[in-house]
Amino acid sequence: MLEFLTQNPIVFLLWAISLIIAVTIHEFAHAFVADRLGDPTPKAHGRLTLNPLSHMDPLGTLALLVANIGWGKPVPVDSYNFANPRRDILLVSLAGPSSNVILAILTALLIRFFPVTAILGIPLIILNIGLAIFNLIPIPPLDGSKILPGLLPKQQALEWEQFIERIGLFGLLLFILPIFGGQSLIGIVISPIISAIARILIPS
C-alpha cells in the first residue's frame, strides 16, 4: 500500500480513506457490542464513537501501510460487567471481523448497482476482507486470541492462553515482518484467501 504514495498519490489517498473506514468500523463494532452486553468501559474510554482518531493504533496502522496487514487500537473491555463472560467476550471479539465482512459485502452490492463507486469500493472491499481474516489469527492483540479460547473447552483454552502469553508481541512481529523474500509469513498464508474472497465480491 505504501508504494502507492510515490507511484500514484490519488490511489494512495483512496486506500488510506478505505483503511480508516475499515479500522473505525471494526473497532466501533467491538465497543458497540460490549456496550450492548452491559460493559460501559468502551464508552467511558471514548471508544463508542465513529471518530477515526479514537480507533487508530500507530503500530497497527504502520503494519497496514507497510505489510498490508494490521489492526486498530484495542477496545478496553471489563469482562466482570458481562452476564456470561466467556460467551460475551467471544461475541465482542467476533464483532470486529464480522463488521468488516458485512461492510465488504454491502460495498460489493453497492458497486454492482452503482459501478462508479468502484474507485473507492474496491480498496474498501479488499481492506475489509484483509482486516477480518488477519484479525482471526489467534495471536494478541488480534481478535482471534480471544475468539479461539471462547470456542475451545475450558482446559484447552487455558493451555492455549498460557502458550500465547509466552509468545507475546514478539510472536506477532515474527509473523508480520516481511522476512520471507519481501513477504511476511502471515501474508503468504492469508493473501490467497483474501484474494479468493475479493474475486468473489468484486464484480468482473
d(CA 191, CA 134): 9
For residue 27, indicate whether it is catalytic: yes
Q: What pLDDT is attached to residue 59?
A: 78
d(CA 69, CA 166): 23
Tell me the whole-structure pTM to 2 decimals.
0.87
pLDDT tens sequence across 90-144: 999 999 999 999 999 999 999 999 999 999 999 999 999 999 998 898 887 789 9
Mean pLDDT, 10 residues at a time, over the chain (204 residues)?
A: 68 88 95 98 96 86 67 90 95 97 97 93 94 87 89 89 74 67 73 91 83
* Cα–Cα nearest to 64, from 94, 29, 28, 21: 21
Q: What pLDDT is attached to residue 182?
A: 64
Amino acid identity, position 93: S
Of 3, 27, 159, 165, which residue is the catalytic one?
A: 27
- DSSP conformation letters of 9-36: HHHHHHHHHHHHHHHHHHHHHHHHHHHH
- DSSP conformation letters of 78-95: -GGGSSSHHHHHHHHHHH
